[in-house]
Chain A
Amino acid sequence: MRRLLSHMWPVLSLLPLLAAAVMVITACAGNVRVEGPSVEERLQEAEHQVLPTPQVSSRPFLEFEQYRLLQAAAGGIEAPPVETYVLTRVDDLTAYPCSTCHVKPLDELRAESEAEGQLQHWEITLNHGDESTLTCETCHNVNADGEGEDTVDALRTLAGKPVEFDAAYQQCAQCHASAVEDWLGGAHGKRVGGWAEPRVLQNCADCHNPHDPEWDVRWPAVPPKDFSRGRGGGP
């Protein structure tokens, strides 16, 4: 036994050190965790309570916005649980109503403006889907010749039903159903005014150019400060 010990002493002398290390590691691992209720527990607790409605409103910050109640029933859109408003579009359009000019068939109008050498809507290039999927007529009722259902002053669904410009999200919802679902839920798009009631959302076309929905590649808004030459750019 003595002989064994005398041979083993380097290993044996390391044992207490090892034990200490293990203790320190486990203690650290135990200490890192911060104890306290989780957010989930707090939310579950709140479900069983009657909470006061926060006495705060977004209204003062919506003073300069124009918005309308969401038109949910049409376009297969399910109404969200809270009253939802959407920014109007018509006041943003530069050439509305369309019927100011579009009173004749499109071919005639085009021939006229070609004769004048002054093309209309020249700034619009359709870069959305491809030509076999989307053309002007897919969304715009360019050959309309009447009032009511067949008006040129509204968009047109794939099935030929009119959609007001203010409710253009219904038009988008035909193809982008999941994006619209996220938009209504709150995971897509932007709220206007504030987090408090009323809930006002930006319309699809407030962020996405419907004719060219691809987002920009651009430079960031803030350059990093250069500290290589002493103090960074400041006064």
Chain B
Amino acid sequence: MSGTRDDSVPRNRLPSAREIGVDDLVRRMFATYGVEDVPAERIPREPTALPWGELKQTFALPADIEERAGIEIRDDVPPDRSRLELLLSREVDRRTAVKLLAIGLVLGFGFLQTACRALLPVGARSDEEREKAKLSLEEYFKRHYRLMTDEEKRATIERLERLYELETGKRPHISTQGPHEGVLYGYAFNISKCRGYLECIRGCIEENNLDRGTDMRYIRIHEIPAGGFSLARANDSFYHEVPAEGHMYVGTQCYHCENPPCVEVCPVQATWKEPDGIVVVDYDWCIGCRYCQAACPYDGRRFNWRTPHVPVEEINLNQHYLGNRLRRKGVMEKCTFCIQRVRQGRLPACVEACPTGARVFGNLLDPNSEIRWILENKKVFRLKEDLGTEPKFWYYMD
């Protein structure tokens, strides 16, 4: 927060626009949403009592905006808060909304409070709440992960770590470690070894902070009855002693395709393929449209229908921005080959958890790696190869 608090000001009074850093916020809102038709120097620097007519001019709003919304606001006096809120609640485009929010700030109402209550530092009762609100608001205006500078990355990590600490008292370590040069990750699955123990799923849930409330699983193990490899006849929610007589077990998860169709369909580029071959999601850029889920031919993507819940004592604090950090409601998530682990040189949690050795992981670009030995010495296949998606996930047999 910029500015200092005057101790003589009663606690229950809403802090002024200046106290919460208004210019800064307005400028940033404009920068984020590309509202270039308002010259920055015309934005009032402190709360003012500008009449509505003048405000419309300053913020380059159409002259008949209130008329079109069916609201009456006098041009020669400052608009009152309820009128502005009413206007904002009408169907306005994003740029207009940003401008109206900015006008609210300039007029010194604790105005955004209504629009995005949880995000605003205004009116928060304790210092902790105010800090949380301020951090959340800043988070709201950050950029796409791939456009962030190192400094911006550092700042968002600091905010995310602090936010979780404020909420639970535990501070995670969120890494932004990039890909290693000369590495392309690949995975192999031995279908003659898997016995359906589901240790991989347990390992994955614990490692990746998956929602404990719903049946969120990145991995599915399909129990296929003998007589041909058919996923259509498979059961992926079995619960009986395994391995069952006359059945085979085949695991599926995100295959990290070289030509990922999910990436192609994302309308906001919130998902992409990293140079080391891992397909990742920027959880804070995803709009939850689920196009990627529809485009994936392998059922590799999962959607958060509700806020994921992980008990504080079970949380994995070793996190990555593009990996197992905590997700929100309404965003996509999926297997990341445990990006937080593999970029440290470790194996994905499913590989480590598998007691049968059915899962193999390694560097495809290293000709001496285990995964390459399998590709060169075993009979391997991939699912739906004819689609040209080029999964980096092979199945093989003993």
Contact = CB atoms under 8 A, between A and B. Distances in A.
Contacts of A58: 345-346
A195 interface: yes
Contacts of B257: 34
B111 interface: no
Interface in B176-205: 180-184, 186, 188, 190, 193, 195-199, 201-202, 205
B360 A57 contact: no
Chain B interface residue bracket vs A: 35 or more
B127 interface: no
A37 B258 contact: yes
Given A34-B264, A215-B356, A221-B201, A47 B215 contact: no
B345 A186 contact: no
Interface string B343-369: 111110001001111001111111111
Given A32-B387, A194-B344, A43 B365 contact: yes
B215, B260, B361: most-surrounded residue (chain A CB, <10 A): B215
B298 interface: no
B166 interface: no
Contacts, number: 169
Nearest to A83: B368
Given A194-B345, A220-B242, A186 B182 contact: no
Contacts of A186: 360, 362, 369-371, 373-374
Nearest to B348: A195
Contacts of B344: 56, 60-61, 194
A222 B243 contact: no
A25 interface: no
Interface stretch (B58-66, B149-157, B388-396): B388-396
A175 to B, nearest CB: 16
A234 B309 contact: yes
B67 to A, nearest CB: 47
B238 interface: yes
A121 interface: no
Contacts of A64: none
Interface string A67-90: 000000000000011100000000
B49 to A, nearest CB: 49
Interface string A37-55: 1110011001100011111
B329 to A, nearest CB: 13
Contacts of A37: 258-259, 390
B342 interface: yes
A187 interface: yes
B351 to A, nearest CB: 8
A33 interface: yes
A227 interface: yes
B365 A51 contact: yes
Contact of B190 (A36, A38, A187, A222): A187
A219 interface: yes
A224 interface: yes
Contacts of B196: 220
Nearest to A233: B213
A225 interface: yes
Contacts of B392: 39
11 contacts: A35-B259, A53-B182, A54-B182, A182-B398, A186-B371, A207-B356, A215-B195, A219-B240, A220-B198, A220-B238, A222-B202
Interface of B: 180-184, 186, 188, 190, 193, 195-199, 201-202, 205, 211-215, 217, 237-243, 257-261, 264, 309, 342-347, 351, 354-357, 360-371, 373-374, 377-378, 386-390, 392, 396, 398
Given A61-B345, A186-B362, 10 more contacts: A32-B387, A33-B386, A52-B182, A56-B344, A187-B373, A190-B357, A195-B345, A217-B243, A219-B239, A224-B239
